[in-house]
A and B are shown apart, each in its own frame.
Chain A
Amino acid sequence: MAKKRDIVIAGYSETPVEFKSGRSAYDFGGEALAKLLRSTGIAKSQIDGMAVAAPLSESPNPFFPVYMAEALGLSPKWLNYSGTGGCSATGGIARAASAIRDGLCETVVVLCADAPSTAWRANYGAYRGEFQEPVGVQGPPASFGLLMSRYHHQYGIKPEALGKIAVTQREHALHNDNALAKFKKPLTMEDYFNSRVIADPLRLLDCVMFCDGANAFLVTSEKRARTLGLSKMVYPTAYAEITNLHGDSSCPDITETGFSVIAPLIYKQSGLSARDIRMFQPYDDFTIAVMMQFEDFGFCQRGQGSDFTLGTDLSRTGTLPLNTGGGQISAGQPGLASGGLNLAEAVRQMFGEGGGRQVKDARNALVTGIGVVPFARNWGTSAALILEA
């Protein structure tokens, strides 16, 4: 199958990440849309499709995407609502591309907005009240503590490798105007080792902090983009996702993630391999997730994540620039708009708008998403997107 280069991301926008902003997902979404219209110069009336991420802060409303369209004064002919958490942004790009190819719409805004540090309204329900929460597994840190323990048992974790991921990303966040103000100070390896253990062996500085914020992307055909007078664009040349890996097994190896299945798919679609990836903007809810992705995307062998991390220059001037805006760990995690944070940084870099953190020859990027922490496994959905110039 020939590589598809018919659809483009022709614009992006991002709000600053804030903690307890007092604002709603609607308000952040509006800010992101207004910025997107301003930076692309297109009229709101030219948007005829919208893909929306389900936010924690408005989750009791099953009609959130319709309310959002109403709030923004949009009349989309195609409306998509994603419940895959941190995969909603990359997944939204892929779904928009399919819809455009099917002729359902021409110009889509992929919008991710959430404000859980202001209003946490999610209730996962299901089995959790009976079989998970009474054990004390209330949120992702306990689940990731369990995952890390198993990974360490099978392969060994060098904590200084996880510390290096935290320290490197923090350095990147210092150059990111949108990063949470609290994180705009340098981090040392000593700080990392001094940060308290919250769920062994997980430390505070291995984790993200829930914040508020939004991002938006303009997806259309290359032809349409040029008609609209847009000149900056990147091509999403490969996308794959998988939910509930080993869903028909009671005792899978939890160190094997969905990325091990989808990495070969995106490399095949794009014709690229790990050594061709110019920058890596992985979903980073926890440092261990970044390390496990180095392995599953073939940057190193399974179990070699610590040594690879320690032996590779992951800085913005290095051989594999990592989360060049600081990632969620150091820019702040805007709730379930989180997947768009890594994506916006990739597009920004490829548009040459990285400013003080610009990566040279930003010809492609690998962006990933992670959604939902399930019962006693790693994560629910894994998604990966390759962008090429």
Chain B
Amino acid sequence: MVDQAAARPVPKVSVYVDTAPFWEAAKHGKLVLQFCKDTNQFQHYPRPVSIFTGSRNLEWREVSGKGVIYAYTVIRVPGLGLEGRLPLSVATVELDEGVRILGNIVDTDPDRVSIGQRVEVRWERLADDVRYPAFRIV
């Protein structure tokens, strides 16, 4: 677990759809994503319906947290919520379950990260009871 003492804003939960299961699972170090039960596919970010069928026959399922870096950048200029975090590694991670998620790559020099590397989830602590998914190279 990485401690984030800096003033990194804690996300407000369930602002546009019910995302409470995601954040509740995160507290226990589990990554759960929306799953379309009609087509057996994951989707992320969470939506009000299945992007595959338009139905609301969705549930939250745990994923392995393992995947591969699909796209990668290093943010090098200051911005809101970036205080003390630069240079910041940002990746689009394609999880083994066939779904993509944005996340930071931690524990590795930003210049040694590249597309195609295998990663696994690593939880960052934003507050006592709020954990946020990041990834580390494996």
Contact = CB atoms under 8 A, between A and B. Distances in A.
A250 B97 CA distance: 10
A196 B76 CA distance: 9
B71 A146 contact: yes
B73 A199 contact: yes
Contact of B71 (A197, A202, A376): A376
Contacts of B104: 135-136
Residue in A125, A196, A197, A202 with the greatest tally of chain B CB atoms within 10 Å: A197
B76 to A, nearest CB: 6
A230 interface: no
B4 to A, nearest CB: 10
B11 A248 contact: no
A201 B90 CA distance: 12
B25 interface: no
Nearest to B52: A248
B108 to A, nearest CB: 14
A264 interface: no
A145 B11 CA distance: 24
Nearest to A197: B76
Contacts of A150: 70-71, 92, 115
Interface stretch (A87-95, A100-108, A126-134, A233-241): A126-134
A214 B120 CA distance: 48
Interface in B21-60: 41-46, 51-52
B73 A149 contact: yes
A254 to B, nearest CB: 7
Contact of B81 (A136, A201, A248, A376): A136
A101 B124 CA distance: 57
Given A134-B9, A138-B80, A250-B42, A149 B98 contact: no
Contacts of B15: 125-126, 129-130
Interface in A178-213: 196-202
B115 A142 contact: no
A133 B81 contact: yes
A139 interface: yes
B115 A153 contact: yes
A198 B81 contact: no
Given A149-B71, A250-B100, A136 B12 contact: no
Contacts of B13: 130
A251 B94 contact: yes
A202 B8 CA distance: 25
Contact of A126 (B16, B77, B91): B16
Given A127-B45, A250-B100, A134 B71 contact: no
Nearest to B11: A130
Contacts of A248: 51-52
Given A142-B73, A196-B76, A250-B41, A376 B92 contact: yes
A127 B44 CA distance: 10
Residue in A132, A135, A201, A247 with the greatest tally of chain B CB atoms within 10 Å: A135
A250 B43 contact: yes
B102 A125 contact: no
Nearest to B53: A248
B82 A136 contact: yes
Nearest to B134: A135
A123 to B, nearest CB: 11
Residue in A139, A146, A147, A149 with the greatest tally of chain B CB atoms within 10 Å: A149
A375 interface: yes
A300 interface: no
Given A126-B16, A136-B81, A200-B76, A142 B8 contact: no
Contacts of A200: 72-74, 76
B92 A136 contact: no
A130 B12 contact: yes
B72 A251 contact: no
Contacts of B44: 131, 250
A134 B81 contact: yes
List the 3 shortest-distance A-B pairs measured between CB atoms, nearest first: A145-B73, A146-B71, A150-B71
20 contacts: A126-B16, A127-B16, A129-B11, A130-B15, A134-B8, A134-B126, A135-B103, A136-B79, A137-B90, A138-B81, A146-B71, A149-B72, A150-B71, A150-B92, A201-B73, A248-B51, A250-B98, A250-B99, A251-B99, A254-B71
Interface of B: 8-9, 11-13, 15-16, 19, 41-46, 51-52, 70-77, 79-82, 85, 88, 90-92, 94, 98-104, 115-116, 126, 132
Interface of A: 125-127, 129-139, 141-142, 145-150, 153, 196-202, 247-251, 254, 375-376
